[in-house]
């Protein structure tokens, strides 16, 4: 049993947290929405007011926020309350948000500069699949870090794709995945239009 933190407890983050809780981990969360924090508390999760507070209680931290601006807010906002103010060599940070390759690489490098370990690991699949450990994860980062976090990653995902050791490549793979999904939607719409004018 280990303590695992989630910064971002929206639909995906909360479902992933529930999955790891079911696997026997102690879960800590931090979210900007008080209702999400209340839900987490009702599920038995420990709630923290800032990323720094969460980091003081967890060595494995997943960042599952909405976009790049929120990722940067997690890293820097509030100065003493930010994630970067609290992490060190004992921490492993997994970035799961869908952001640009440049933003993913920047976030991971910020963590590495604090002597912590990081993975660029965006996710695909909805909350229902996340709660069952059936999401897809596209992982980029040092192989040693991927190996160190293999157990937690496998509990979250039954479709792990190790893309490369270069930060940003996980985000690139996710963007390609999104483009292919969009192409399929357009193709399906065109096929329907052709068959049922």
List 36's β-bridge partners, or say none.
none
CA pseudo-torsion sign 9, 160, 102, 90: positive
From the list 35, 46, 114, 174, the catalytic residue is: 174
Mention every residue, 6+ apart, whose C-beta is less than 8 A from residue 130: 12, 15, 16, 19, 123, 156
| The pair of three-digit structure tokens given for residue 115, joined into one six-digit string | 């002597």
| Tokens at 153, concatenated | 């990653």
Pairing relationship of beta strands 117-120 and 123-124 according to DSSP bridges: unpaired
DSSP 117-129: EEEE--EES-HHH
Report how far residue 5's alpha carbon sits from residue 45's, in angstroms, rounded to the nearest whole number.
10
What is the four-CA torsion angle of 141, 145, 150, 153, rounded to 10 degrees?
A: -50
114 is catalytic: no
Active site residues: 174
């Amino acid at each position: 049993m280990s303590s695992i933190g989630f910064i971002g407890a929206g639909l995906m983050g909360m479902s992933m947290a529930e999955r790891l809780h079911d696997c026997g981990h102690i879960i800590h969360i931090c979210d900007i929405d008080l209702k999400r924090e209340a839900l987490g508390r009702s599920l038995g999760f420990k709630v923290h007011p800032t990323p720094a507070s969460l980091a003081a209680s967890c060595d494995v931290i997943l960042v599952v926020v909405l976009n790049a601006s929120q990722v940067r807010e997690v890293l820097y906002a509030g100065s003493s309350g930010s994630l970067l103010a609290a992490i060190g060599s004992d921490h492993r940070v997994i970035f799961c948000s869908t952001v640009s390759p440049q933003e993913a690489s920047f976030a991971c490098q910020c963590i590495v500069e604090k002597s912590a370990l990081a993975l660029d690991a965006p996710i695909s699949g909805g909350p229902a699949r996340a709660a069952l450990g059936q999401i897809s994860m596209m992982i980029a980062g040092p192989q040693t870090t991927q190996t160190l976090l293999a157990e937690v990653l496998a509990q979250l995902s039954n479709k792990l794709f190790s893309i490369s050791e270069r930060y940003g490549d996980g985000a690139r793979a996710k963007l390609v995945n999104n483009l292919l999904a969009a192409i399929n939607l357009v193709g399906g719409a065109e096929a329907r239009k052709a068959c049922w004018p």
